[in-house]
Chain A
Amino acid sequence: ILNVEQSPQSLHVQEGDSTNFTCSFPSSNFYALHWYRWETAKSPEALFVMTLNGDEKKKGRISATLNTKEGYSYLYIKGSQPEDSATYLCASLTGGGNKLTFGTGTQLKVEL
């Protein structure tokens, strides 16, 4: 994998559903993996910064895992709520650990 890739591109779920997204990134020269949530008309907000293989992080109903050897991370949302509707971006820290390379994002829409 040469670039940061995210899937799916978009997702519609019902309130209360649990969901997950995938981020794939180059496993060589790995420094860190970031997840951001970007709501319309707002700033991207950092959710997690993960550095170690096997890392698992949790913030409320949202959690993430990291596999640096195979180059992927999963983001999970348990019991989705309408306020979870946003674009979720992952980014790999590259360039000697000096800049983030972003995926194209997963756009989540949670419907009542």
Chain B
Amino acid sequence: DTGVSQNPRHKITKRGQNVTFRCDPISEHNRLYWYRQTLGQGPEFLTYFQNEAQLEKSRLLSDRFSAERPKGSFSTLEIQRTEQGDSAMYLCASSLAGAPAQGYTFGSGTRLTVV
């Protein structure tokens, strides 16, 4: 297993376009998280899945954001009608539920720039 993989690494899009990011977690991990980091801030929680079930969504996640994890493996995060304020680093992480002594394993992130 090569860790958590995120694609693409960078995305530049025009305002109003839709974008989709993909995250492939560590295969044994049943939890998957999405975070967003903007300049000068720490990563902010967006949503998390346990297997295919989306168990929590942050109030930060407006109606334009949707995340899926259809088979409990990879996940996608879609942003519709992008706005300049969506420009950020989007991080994915995975972990094993019931193993609180282990940290999260993060991907390298997708940096989104909305122009």
Contact = CB atoms under 8 A, between A and B. Distances in A.
Interface of A: 4, 6, 31-32, 34, 36, 41-49, 51, 89, 91, 93, 95, 97-105
A49 B102 contact: yes
> Main secondary structure on chain B at its contact with chain A?
loop
A105 B105 CA distance: 18
16 contacts: A4-B42, A6-B42, A32-B101, A34-B103, A41-B108, A42-B108, A43-B105, A46-B103, A47-B103, A49-B100, A51-B100, A91-B43, A97-B100, A99-B56, A100-B43, A100-B104
A98 B56 contact: yes
Contacts of A101: 45
Interface string B1-23: 00110000000000000000000
> Main secondary structure on chain A at its contact with chain B?
strand
B107 interface: yes
Contacts of B108: 41-43
Kindly state the interface size class of chain B when it binds its partner. Answer: 20 to 34
A95 B56 contact: yes
Contacts of A4: 42
A97 B56 CA distance: 12
B56 A43 contact: no
B48 A98 contact: yes
A98 B98 CA distance: 10
Contacts of B3: 43
A2 B107 CA distance: 28
B79 to A, nearest CB: 20
B33 interface: yes
Closest 9 pairs (CB-CB, A-B):
A46-B103, A102-B42, A44-B106, A43-B106, A104-B42, A102-B43, A43-B108, A99-B45, A49-B103
